[in-house]
């Protein structure tokens, strides 16, 4: 692999985050390599950055998946005009970054790829959701609802479906794509295999977090105004964000640890064994309306501290989709970062 052209506008630093931000003892990470295991610029393989409306572009975290130890799947979607796009899927060898497979399809809306527990993928296509196996081999299983959510362990999917003239959230079995349940309410939830978390607006003092585990009674917690929707980062842990503050809590409401976000916009990524989570933060340029800097941190959930971080400084970016998507390997040993056409994989401590 050669150093990519996109590297000219990405200044990559691997930083050693101070765990003092988390209120816990700091940790020496200097033994960790600053260099990725590999990096590849997919522009040479036909990756085309989306130059159209950001509103049509899929969220960055839906464009990369690390569903099994052998491969990383990256999607690229370009809108030739509104409601007419081409989606290209690249299957990369997880050890070397070499291209194993490339395929494409057309869509009118945003695509996405979700890792499932079998090591395969639920993929958004024109008619709904299709199930793919390892190696990104398409199966005959499809369903009309478009998947929007996946549990951290890949054991449950969720999406919107029409029932009795109303749009409702349903859960799907990731092995068969058959409906397995209905999630009450209209607000977007977060899911684990056995639990659902969502915000409920019941009063003017701020939203209420509602967590339902199995058939148990809901666990309710009053949150401050401005709270972002909750996000499962393991099967029994949730991340909550209010402004620049975040905390990780259990499904029973017990607080595990707290922290601070440096930038305004964020997304979370989890891995199948539930031992780590990644937080992606982005700072926006007021002059250009584009991302000017990204901070990516990986937390060890049991040790309650940052174990790895890197900063991207995006220079002179004009494409609307200049955002990084992050995926953790199933065993939490690797982190894959997709920044436009540049894909890098780092080893985690």
Per-residue pLDDT tens digits for 81-132 = 888 889 999 999 999 999 999 999 999 999 999 999 999 999 999 989 999 9
The reported pLDDT for the residue numbered 318 is 46
Per-residue pLDDT tens digits for 159-177 = 999 888 889 999 999 999 9
The reported pLDDT for the residue numbered 251 is 96
- Percent of the chain at pLDDT exceeding 70: 83
Pick from 193, 74, 163: nearest CA to 123? 74
| pLDDT grade for 314, boundaries at 50, 70 and 90 | low
- Mean pLDDT check: name the lowest of 131-135, 259-263, 298-302, 318-322: 318-322
The reported pLDDT for the residue numbered 209 is 94
CB 220 within 8 A of CB 210: yes
CATH number attached to the domain at 5-347: 2.130.10.10
The reported pLDDT for the residue numbered 147 is 96
Q: Is the pLDDT of residue 24 over 80?
A: no
Q: What is the dihedral of CA 269, 9, 73, 324, to 10 degrees?
A: 20
Q: How large is the greatest C-alpha to C-alpha distance in the chain, in angstroms?
A: 58
DSSP assignment of 33-81 equals -SS-SEEEEGGGGT-----S-GGGSPPGGGSEEEEETTEEEEEEEEEEE
Q: Is the pLDDT of residue 336 over 70?
A: yes
d(CA 327, CA 287): 30
> How far is Cα of residue 187 from the mean position of the Cα atoms in its chain?
19
Instruction: Give bridge partners of residue 125 from the DSSP assignment.
Output: 128
CB 276 within 8 A of CB 307: yes
DSSP assignment of 219-268 equals EEEE--TTBPPPEESSSSEEEEEETTEEEEEETTS-EEEEEE-SSSEEEE
d(CA 49, CA 271): 27
**pLDDT, mean of residues 7-36:** 44
Pick from 322, 324, 258, 269: nearest CA to 298? 269
Pick from 151, 72, 140: nearest CA to 116? 151
The reported pLDDT for the residue numbered 287 is 59
The domain limits of the chain are 5-347
Nearest-Å Rg of the Cα atoms of the chain is 19
- Mean pLDDT check: name the lowest of 154-158, 291-295, 318-322: 318-322
- Residue 68 or 266, more confident: 68
- Mean pLDDT check: name the lowest of 3-12, 83-92, 322-331: 3-12
Would you mind telling me the total number of residues written for the chain in this entry? 349
């Amino acid at each position: 692999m050669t150093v990519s052209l996109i590297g000219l506008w990405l200044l990559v630093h691997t930083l050693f985050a101070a765990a003092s931000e988390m209120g816990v003892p700091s940790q020496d990470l200097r033994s960790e390599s600053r260099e990725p295991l590999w990096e590849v610029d997919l522009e040479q393989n036909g990756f085309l950055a989306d130059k159209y409306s950001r509103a049509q572009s899929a969220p960055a975290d839906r464009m990369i998946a690390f569903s099994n130890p052998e491969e990383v799947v990256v999607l690229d979607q370009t809108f030739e005009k509104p409601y007419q796009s081409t989606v290209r899927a690249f299957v990369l060898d997880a050890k070397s970054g070499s291209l194993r497979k490339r395929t494409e399809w057309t869509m009118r809306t945003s695509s996405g790829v979700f890792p499932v527990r079998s090591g395969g993928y639920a993929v958004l296509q024109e008619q709904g959701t299709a199930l793919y196996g390892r190696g990104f081999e398409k199966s005959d299983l499809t369903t009309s609802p478009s998947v929007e959510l996946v549990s951290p362990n890949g054991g449950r999917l969720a999406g919107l479906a029409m029932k009795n003239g109303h749009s409702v959230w349903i859960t799907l079995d990731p092995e068969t794509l058959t409906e397995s349940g209905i999630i009450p309410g209209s607000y977007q939830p977060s899911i684990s295999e056995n639990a659902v978390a969502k915000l409920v607006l019941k009063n003017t003092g701020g939203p209420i977090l509602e967590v339902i585990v199995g058939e148990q009674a809901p666990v309710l917690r009053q949150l401050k105004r401005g709270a972002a929707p909750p996000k499962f980062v393991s099967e029994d842990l949730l991340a909550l964000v209010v402004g620049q503050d975040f905390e990780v809590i259990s499904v029973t409401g017990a607080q595990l640890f707290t922290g601070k976000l440096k930038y305004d916009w964020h997304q979370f990524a989890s891995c199948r064994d539930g031992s780590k989570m990644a937080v992606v933060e982005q700072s926006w340029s007021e002059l250009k309306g584009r991302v000017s800097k990204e901070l990516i941190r990986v937390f060890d959930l049991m040790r309650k501290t940052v174990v790895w971080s890197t900063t991207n400084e995006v220079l002179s970016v004009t494409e609307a989709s200049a955002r990084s998507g992050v995926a953790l390997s199933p065993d939490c040993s690797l982190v894959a970062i997709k920044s436009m056409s540049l894909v890098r994989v780092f080893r985690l401590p």
